[in-house]
Structure 1
Amino acid sequence: MNDTFLRACKGEKTDYTPVWIMRQAGRYLPQYRKIRADMDFLTLCKTPEKAAEVSIQPVDILGVDAAILFSDILIPAEKMGLKLRFLENKGPKFGNPVRTLNDVKKLRVITPDEDVPYVLETIKILRKELKVPLIGFAGAPYTLATYMIEGGSSKNFLTTKKLMYAEPEIYTSLMEKVTETTIAYLSAQVIAGAQAVQLFDSWAGSLSPSDYKTYAFPYAARVVKALKQTGVPVIYFVNDCAGIVDLASAADSDVLGICWRIDLKKAVSTLKGRASVQGNMDPCLLYSPKSTIEKEAAKILKKGAAARGHIFNLGHGILPDTPVDNVKFLVDTVHQKSTWKQQA
């Protein structure tokens, strides 16, 4: 097995910089769109053979150094008791969002073997077929809770913040259940065969640094601490992280994933060798000419070289109409331009 990704997570020497891409199994790939033409998104997530197939596609097509489980961060929330739908071109919607203490009391902490057997079966299939490491994942408690409170995506998270500030008992009760579920969910993924896990805090940047420290960080840190006990590398991805990278690093994850809004050199300096770093090309750069992609990739590789370990990635998920040829070019460029490590 190619374990370059795992070694970079642990800060061990690698011959080149490993690369994978958030949302690498997705709509930009014609092979994915062909499968999606026959089934809706949620059905695909819950069909292990097909979910495994789309998880493998970017490994075969792009040559990335890790696969990530094809699923969705909202799957656990559905099994906690919310009615989840994915509306075409509108995203996820919960029919019964969490707004009251009674709503929270109705939720339950999931039992993964019983509630999400299809996720665990997908992992088992992938482990038999992959020759690169498999990453499991979940939404960080704050990010998952925002969807559960808002009833879907949000531009300003007003309902979440109203609950957070005005109804702290409700907010805290919800976060406790979400945190317990997230720990159980990720732990089950590791038992099923995931060789690393990523915690997505996609909306952490919606909070001020002080609010992040109070309302989001403690719960994410609990998940990281619990998962580190499994022995697999834990990646904590924090979107819009420029103002909170130092706080986020205190979660003590093996890898801190960062967005493109912070200079990688600054992030590496802030980490002071406490963790490896993952990132951080702007996804929009993949629409650029290849000469620009090559130049920007080289800049990121140079800055990442000072880190304990560097995993090349985008600063957020790849966009749906990204040219596949440009993505393949990026992966090849990262591999070719980081082979200097062999002589280091």
Structure 2
Amino acid sequence: MSLPTIEADVQVLPADHPLQSGRTSASPLVTTYQGTRGAVTPIWMMRQAGRSLPEYRALRVGTDMLDACLDPAMASEITLQPVRRHGVDAGIFFSDIVVPIKLAGVDVSIVAGKGPVLPHPVRTAADVAALPDLDEAALAPISEAVALTVAALGDTPLIGFAGAPFTLAAYLVEGGPSKDHIAARTMMHSDPETWQGLMRWTATITGAFLRAQLMAGASAAQLFDSWAGALSLADYTAKVAPASALALSRVHGLQYTAPDAATRTVPIVHFGVGTGELLGAMHDVGADVMGVDYRIPLDEASRRLGGTVPLQGNIDPAFLAAPWPVLEAHVLDVLDRGRAAPSHVLNLGHGVPPDTDPVVITRVVSFVHDVAGDAAARGSDADAGTSATTSAETSTS
């Protein structure tokens, strides 16, 4: 697959951007993304905002999902809710991967219990040619929502969010969710020219969507490839990776001056579901940090990445409903395995299930900040030759 590349747009972030002003540049999340391991592992969770929170459900009554995403005040409030409740180390911008598709003018809706539905699937070269260009002025509600959120977050960083080109393309071709994405994968091989045109379109709109969030004040970016795990490494590398690289090229080169006077760029995270075999290829598209799902241990993920890449992950969401001692042991195991990487941001290996008790999330965050942080310090003492008490002897239940 040969897509035209866009050179990184080297640009200094404005003086009032949270990274440039120093509000978030020394935060545990940002420094960890940049490879510096702190005393305590920072934590946030994918889908931390949403159906698991009663305040979210109350706010969303009578409002369609995509309407909520495009209402700046509502999207900002939803983003802030889990930060207030749980004390996580970052907000993740509340949105949906199909928002840029809708903003471009494509007919798409989110059906409760099913997900995104497109009544007119994109199956032919004519369909791809008819896809509308995204007028970046349409991204104004996104920029406004980010600005509102960043103003309220203070020194807590906001992470920008966008769906990867393959996942967007899969929805467009399938017309909705699919178990195997056979229609999309068939187009990939049977009509490569049309596939390339579709991937160019999805890369363009999702890159613009992510860039709008960063320029409005987000301190990091995450590209989320929900369905890349359906691909072989060969297909991902040849048919998908160039489009992901094209999308991320829109957010490379956004520079700021860190507290140590070094010039740095906004960190980029890349995450996929079921992508343990694709980690190296996904990193190579231009990511600084690799998100890891719950199917592969973090120490093995780090080995596959050469031991040089900061990681994010990877508590199994199923453990959130387990008895606390079981969940606690799992969290400590993930933290321990995460020490194989240069640095580690604790997260789930996917998203918070909608029926999760919010009290559990708050407890995990507190545990990681307090007890697990103490355990890490004790581990460092033990490495230095001093005696240490095991986490099992000191952790609370």
> TM-score, with normalisation over the residues of structure 2?
0.83
Query: Which residue, 271, 278, 285 being the options, matches 1:237?
Result: 271
SS at match of 2:276: coil
Question: Any idea what the Cα deviations from partners look like across 1:107-142, whole Å, max 9, x if unmatched?
Answer: 133233x11211111001011100310011111111
Q: Residue 127 in 1 paired to residue 162 in 2?
A: no
Q: Which moved more, 1:296-305 or 1:324-333?
A: 324-333
Tell me how far 1:162 sits from its aligned partner.
1.5
Query: Which residue, 69, 81, 99 being the options, matches 2:105?
Result: 81
Residues 321 and 5 of structure 1: CA distance in aligned 2, closer, same or farther (over 3 Å): same
Q: Which moved more, 1:240-249 or 1:277-286?
A: 240-249
Tell me how far 1:340 sits from its aligned partner.
5.0
Query: Which residue, 163, 167, 179 being the options, matches 2:191?
Result: 167
CA distance in 2, matches of 1:64, 1:239: 23
Equivalent residues of 1:32, 1:54 under 8 A apart:
yes
> TM-score, with normalisation over the residues of structure 1?
0.96
The equivalent of 2:134 in structure 1 is 110
Question: Any idea what the Cα deviations from partners look like across 1:82-127, whole Å, max 9, x if unmatched?
Answer: 2011222222111222111111111133233x11211111001011
Between Structure 1 and Structure 2, how many residues are aligned? 343
The equivalent of 1:38 in structure 2 is 62
Q: Residue 277 in 1 paired to residue 311 in 2?
A: yes
Equivalent residues of 2:302, 2:308 under 8 A apart:
no
Identity of counterpart residues, as a percentage? 38
The equivalent of 2:373 in structure 1 is 338
CA distance in 2, matches of 1:222, 1:340: 42
Q: Which amino acid aligns with 1:220?
A: S
CA distance in 2, matches of 1:299, 1:222: 36
Query: Which residue, 121, 125, 137 being the options, matches 2:161?
Result: 137
RMSD: 1.5
CA distance in 1, matches of 2:169, 2:287: 21
SS at match of 1:107: coil
Q: Report 1:211-226 matches (<5 A).
A: 211-226=235-250
CA distance in 1, matches of 2:315, 2:37: 22
SS at match of 1:116: helix
Gaps of 5+ in 2: 1-22, 255-264, 381-397
CA distance in 2, matches of 1:41, 1:232: 29
Gaps of 5+ in 1: none
SS at match of 2:55: helix
CA distance in 2, matches of 1:105, 1:74: 19
Question: Any idea what the Cα deviations from partners look like across 1:160-195, whole Å, max 9, x if unmatched?
Answer: 111111111111011011112222221221111111
Query: Which residue, 320, 325, 337 being the options, matches 1:303?
Result: 337
Residues 340 and 292 of structure 1: CA distance in aligned 2, closer, same or farther (over 3 Å): closer
The equivalent of 1:314 in structure 2 is 348
